[in-house]
Amino acid sequence: MNYLRNTFLMSRFKLTLEYDGTPFAGWQRQEGLPTVQGTIENAFADFLGEAVTIWGSGRTDAGVHAKRQVAHLDIFKPYKPIAIQGAINKRLRSEPISILAVEEVTSEFHARFSAKSRSYEYLILNRRAPSALDQTRTWWVIPPLSVDAMAEAASYLIGHHDFSSFRGSQCQASSPLKTLDLLSVMQEGELIRIHAHARSFLHHQVRNIVGTLKRVGENKWSPQKIKDILKAQDRRAAGPTAPASGLYLTNIEF
């Protein structure tokens, strides 16, 4: 009877949040390590007086940031979204995490499986002087980069391809085939912004692409070499993995 009553009273809530990933060992809960998921779950446990599980739309790696991560959880007590947001943000004041919005959704909504696409942004600080403010939020690259060459190289990656050459060694995806809907490279003063949009990504795919585009920007490789790297289907053919500090999860579409 209690189970049936609690199930009937269950409410599912969608959380939209941002965080600085610098102090965390990634999104996913890990025993003995600080993680974004674990920190938020602890805040909810303190608020609700019971353990909860939060489901995220994607697992960001250690040091990766999020501007609009999405998660959901089920609560078996009557709370208004605004009350949840205020209570959790109060408990997260000492952490670089902020709950931007809380919405009540139907039980069919799932932060991961309902997601239709994901967007990432990578920031390169391209100048001689290091940053005093954004050392953990950009990739500092001293040699001037050719943005035009990087943009041309990026254009060859758009579409449906076997991205084995850009796949991390610990990737658990069943297939290296992915469709990259957008990959753009733009310069704004000393910042180079790389945007990527797809339904889903392989582990380290964006960071491996950025590391490869940097080599093109340094004129070490021609833009056309990207075609050969794709055909190789070998991680050793591509460039290095760019640091986590410059990567941001920027949006999830449902």
Token pair 């460039």: residue: 239
- What pLDDT, on a 0 to 100 scale, did the predictor assign at position 9? 80
- What pLDDT, on a 0 to 100 scale, did the predictor assign at position 4? 47
**Candidates 20, 46, 61, 134; catalytic one:** 61
- What pLDDT, on a 0 to 100 scale, did the predictor assign at position 7? 56
Domain boundaries, the chain: 2-105, 117-253
Phi/psi of residue 177, nearest 5 degrees: -80, 125
Span 147-161, pLDDT tens digits: 999 999 999 999 999
CA atoms within 13 A on the CB side of 85: 15
Is domain 117-253 classified as CATH 3.90.1200.10?
A: no
pLDDT-based confidence at residue 8 (cuts at 50, 70, 90)? low
2-105 and 117-253 in the same fold: yes
Topology (CATH) of 2-105: Alpha-Beta Plaits (3.30.70)
Q: Is 162 a catalytic residue?
A: no
Q: Cα separation of 138 and 122, whole Å?
A: 8
pTM, entire model: 0.93
Span 204-251, pLDDT tens digits: 999 999 999 999 999 999 999 999 999 999 999 999 999 999 999 999
- What pLDDT, on a 0 to 100 scale, did the predictor assign at position 6? 54
Q: Comparing C-alpha atoms, which of 59, 58, 62 is closest to residue 20?
A: 62
Map residue 161 onto helix, strand or coil.
strand
Map residue 187 onto helix, strand or coil.
strand
- What pLDDT, on a 0 to 100 scale, did the predictor assign at position 233? 98
Q: Cα separation of 177 and 174, whole Å?
A: 9
